Every structure is written in C-alpha cells, then in structure tokens.
Structure 1
Amino acid sequence: MDHSKKTKTTKLQAEGFTLEAYRSKTGVSGPPPTGIFKGRPTISTNFRKLYNHGQLPVCVDHCTGGHRISWKLNITSLDYNYFLPLFFDGLVETVQPYEMLARHGVHEMLEAGGPNILPVVPQLIIPIKKALNTKNNQVMYSTMKVLQHLVMSAEHVGGALVPYYRQILPVFNLFKNKKKIIVNGMSVDFKRR
C-alpha cells in the first residue's frame, strides 16, 4: 500500500442556509449572477410599425456625406402631442434606419418645438423610462443626450421633469458606480461631469 499518495478531498457544494451547508467538508456556493447590468432585448415599437406603414412624416435622405432625415411636412406644423412621444418611443431601436430616424427626429423636433414641448413632457416619461430600462449602452447614451437636449429645448422643461425623477433616476442609480461603458467603440466615463 502506497501511503505517499495524498488523498484528494473534494468539498461538496451546497446552497446557503440549508442543512447540507452545515456539514463538515462542505462549501457554500455563492449566489447566482443577477444580470442586473445585462442589456435587455428590445421589442418592436410603434415607431417602427408606423414607419414601415409610411405613416410617419419622415424619410431617409441618402446623400454623399451619409444619411440624413427628410421631413415630408413642415416640422413646426407637426402635432407634438402625437409625434414627439412617438419619436421618443423609437429611441429604443438599435436597427438602422429606425435608430437614426428616431434619434435625429427627436433632436430636430426639440430644436424646432419651442413652446410645444412643455405640455408634452408627461407623455415622454414612459418612453424615456423604457429606453433607459433596456440597459443597452448605445440606447442609454443616446437617451441621456436627448434628455440633455430636452432640458435645454424650452423654458421650464427641467422643472416639469422633477415630479418624474422617481421613474427616471433608478436606472442611473444602478450605473453611477460603473466607471465606464463602451458605446460604438468609444468609452463613456460616468464619473466625469
């Protein structure tokens, strides 16, 4: 009999707070990963459906410098109560041309909206919350840029957002300690102001 061989003891793994966890030579396995920072898949949006049916007053203008959006109607004559929440709903899109149309459409509507924006702010909260809850880096980054533009687009819009902070800020709270995210190959630092 060869006593030089060491006997290998294997620790049994058990879930925490069970009877097996209290036995000798038993290790407690850690909790499963929560996936809290994992991006969620996007579902088809009303923005995509209406664009596919030709019911949005916007189209892609293919030019030599890239793609731009072209408005079929005068942007100042649009019904902001209907179209601005619809374009905000399109912020969750990650597929072209929907992503580009929604993002540029929102920015152009905010530029031209003026006093039409403030009454629509309560209708924008659900699309903003939905876009942030995707936890997709690209979608979150573009939504943050849109929020900055929204606050600067008209007077009192920042104050109109205050009652809705409880719905918007929890996702930011998750990511406040995360130092960097990568968006389109570019590093975005959350610690920077």
Structure 2
Amino acid sequence: MPKKRSELKAEAFTIKATMKVAAVVGPPSAGAFKERPAKPTMLRKYYHRGDLPVVVNHIGNGGRAIKWKVDIYSLDYHHYLPLFFDGLCETTFPCELFARQGIYELLKIGGPKILPVIPQLIIPIRNAMNTRNHQVMCTTLRAIQQLLQSADGVGEAMVPYLGRILTVFNIFKNKNENCGDEVG
C-alpha cells in the first residue's frame, strides 16, 4: 500500500514554501466590499426619546408615510436636516422611513435654508457610505441626488467636500452586479 503524501500549507516567501510537498496559501481577503456595522444614529436616539417631530402615518393598502407634528416650514434646518441625513445608515423600520421621507420632504421645501447646512451633511453622508451596505448606499445616492437638485448653488458648495465622499465611490466603481433583465 503506497503512502499518501500530505500537503503542507505554507505562507508565501518562506522556506516551507520551497518544499515539494508544500502548497502556498494565498493572502486573506482584504474585505474592501465587506459590510461594516453602523453605529447607533442620532435619529434612532431621538426617536426612542420621543424628540422627533414626525410620526408614522399608515395609509390604506399597507402604505406608510410620515406625518409632521409641527409646521415643517418652521423647522431649524441646521438641527434637523443633519439629523435626518445621519439616519441614512438605518435599515430598520421606522427609522429608515423617517430618514428617507424626512430628507425628501425637507429638501423639497427647503430652498435657501439648505445651502448653509451643506458642511454639516458631509459626515453623515460619509458614514452612510462607509457602511458599504448596498441598501444604505443606494438610499444615500438618492439623497445626494435630491440634495443637488434641491437648491441653486448646492453643487458648488459640495465641491470642497467631494474628496471625502468619493473615496468610497472609488472602491465600488468597478463592482457590477449583473441583474439580467432587471433594470432598477
């Protein structure tokens, strides 16, 4: 009965790697695309304390929207717009709904109130992109699109901060998930 040769696993560039029975093991995965857990957001903390000026409005046929407890035109954008952008990291109900709908409605009527708040939005946008969660990244991209279309001068105001946001985009620029016939 012939003896079986057992393969020896060795790291690259070591003396063991030069042996005939050695199999060189590749490097570990760097984890560039690996999802990273999001820290608890301020939006969630405000929600649990009951300090958010919104509630869930259940619409017929199972739909959901948000209902403002206060007049939306009187909100302090320096406080609430960054708070809702911070909620972009959320993936659970109702905080995800509050973040998405809150951003949409505040940007829709914000006008000139939005431009001075741009520097405060960069860190929440970057934190959301750094989660590398597909759902969070798509939601964040939609929020950025809405932000850029919301008021005049927003694009120019974001130029100094693009380096901080585009680093994560650079990682994912060549990642292509083939959806087949689904275009979404």
TM (normalized to structure 1)?
0.88
Structure with the bigger RCO (C-alpha within 8 Å, sep 6+) is 2
Name the counterpart of 1:157: 154
Q: Distance in 1 between matches of 2:112 and 2:128?
A: 24
Q: How many residues align?
A: 181
- Matches of 1:24 and 1:166, distance apart in 2: 49
Q: What is the rounded CA distance, in whole Å, between the counterparts of 1:181 and 1:146 in structure 2?
A: 24
Consecutive unaligned residues of structure 1, counting only runs of 5 or more, are 189-193
Identity %: 51
SS of equivalent residue, structure 1 residue 37 = coil
Question: Are the counterparts in 2 of residues 181 and 187 from structure 1 also a CA contact under 8 Å?
Answer: no
Aligned counterpart in structure 1 of residue 86 of structure 2, from 85, 89, 103: 89
Q: CA RMSD in A?
A: 1.7
Name the structure 2 match of 1:119.
Answer: 116
- For structure 2, the 5+ residue unaligned runs are none
Q: What amino acid does structure 2 have at the position aligned with 1:34? A: A
Deviations 1:153-180 (A, max 9, x none): 0011011111111110111111111112
Alignment CA distance shift 1:150-1:181 (3 Å): farther
Deviations along 1:94-113, whole A, 9 cap, x unmatched?
Answer: 11010011111001000010
List structure 1 runs of 4+ shifted beyond 4 angstroms: none
Q: What amino acid maps onto 1:93 in structure 2?
A: E
1:60 is paired with a residue whose SS is strand
Task: Report what 2:56 is aligned to.
Answer: 60
Q: Does 1:37 align with 2:33?
A: yes
Contact persistence 1:59–1:72 (CA under 8 A): yes
Q: Does 1:27 align with 2:35?
A: no
